[in-house]
Structure 1
Amino acid sequence: MRVLLVSSGGGHLAQLLPLSPWWGKQERQWVTVRQSEVEGALSGESVVWAHFPTTRNIPNAVRNLFLSWPTIRRFRPDILISAGAGISVPFFITAKLLGISTVYIECLDRITMPTLSGRICYPLADVFCIQWEEQRKFYPEAINIGPLL
């Protein structure tokens, strides 16, 4: 299976790393932002560097939308998985246009308020995961996978 993992740095990336027993067995590529801690965490991985900052930055969202098309077409993933944040939106849009399955994992630390990326990606996601039952009021069709960290 070919997996495209799309994530901002910091806590968003940290929530995908515990899934390594699964994604470590797959052919994979990452799309994330170039930061020293990200480079260290993904050393040895195939990474496409996205435009940063991604949160509420319209010019970079457009740049990342234009980055998403050739990245997805070249890698041809079976599934795209993201834990947010803003970088997920352009990649989810392109994945949906190309008929690629998508999985979104809402942030661990947003229990009482949904994230902007989560609200945008919820209708685009084939599977939408939450980590707390309290998040269900914003995402009624979500699957509770429990805390990843």
Structure 2
Amino acid sequence: MVSLLLLSYGVIFTIFILRTAFVLYQINFCPGPLNIKAKSAKTMIVLGSGGHTTEMFKLLSTLNFEKYYPRIYVVTYSDPLSQGKVAEFEKGDGYAVEKVPRSRKVGQSYFTSVFTFLWACVGSCRIVVHHLPDVILCNGPGICLPLILFMLLLRVFSLKQNRIVYVESFCRVKTLSLTGKILYRLVDDFVVNWKELSHMYPRAIYVGRLF
């Protein structure tokens, strides 16, 4: 009985690993256009603080709001400034604001950040499962890591097809940020603002300065 149970767990784990490998293979070697049957794509937008938020709103100013609708903004509990900027930017309805714990504070040790990251995962899982976005757009804040993780899991379990778009910060000219290095192989579209980075990282997309 025990051996049969262990065999079942082993089969489930093997299927999970193979399915994850297949999704990552698709992302890295078989990229395709976002396939959404609806007229608009539910879009999740991750806001950091300070420069990250400023850059994101510059990018959003070029967005076709009729196509990317409704919009879900994700901010941290410790960042009321970004939430206020959302209210200034959005003139009508069609958007929501969700809050998550910060996954890692500036200067926080890597050891303690493991626990804050796990706590951030709890809030991120709730938001992703509740909204099931078609697209997630982020530009570097650490809070995007657990959100993207659960977006990938939706695809691994065939619960929701989605598109993950990462735009590297404007200040990153010759090297990627830590978040960028982690997500380089995990996102569908990895966009950079400097041509030098597109030469160093073959998957990077350079379409000119976005910010």
TM-score greater than 0.5 by the shorter chain: yes
Letter in 1 for 2:65: G
Q: Residues 31, 124 of structure 1: CA spacing in aligned structure 2 closer, same or farther, 3 A cutoff?
A: same
Letter in 2 for 1:20: S
Moved more, 56-65 or 26-35: 56-65
Q: Residues 69, 23 of structure 1: CA spacing in aligned structure 2 closer, same or farther, 3 A cutoff?
A: farther
Compare the two structures and name the one with the higher helix fraction: 2
Instruction: Trace 1:1-149 onto structure 2 (pairs within 5 A).
Output: 1-18=41-58, 19-22=60-63, 24-25=65-66, 26-33=69-76, 34-43=78-87, 45-52=95-102, 54-55=104-105, 57-99=113-155, 100-149=162-211
User: Given that residues 48 and 141 in structure 2 are in contact (C-alpha distance below 8 angstroms), is that contact kept between their aligned partners in structure 1?
Assistant: yes
* SS of alignment partner, residue 4 of structure 1: strand
Report 1 or 2 for greater relative contact order, CA contacts < 8 Å, sequence distance ≥ 6. Answer: 1
Per the normalisation by structure 2, the TM-score is: 0.64
User: Given that residues 61 and 86 in structure 1 are in contact (C-alpha distance below 8 angstroms), is that contact kept between their aligned partners in structure 2?
Assistant: no
Moved more, 46-55 or 110-119: 46-55
* SS of alignment partner, residue 146 of structure 1: coil
Letter in 2 for 1:42: V
Name the % identity: 26
Unaligned runs of 5+ in 2: 1-40, 156-161
Q: Flag the structure with larger Rg.
A: 2
Moved more, 20-29 or 52-61: 52-61
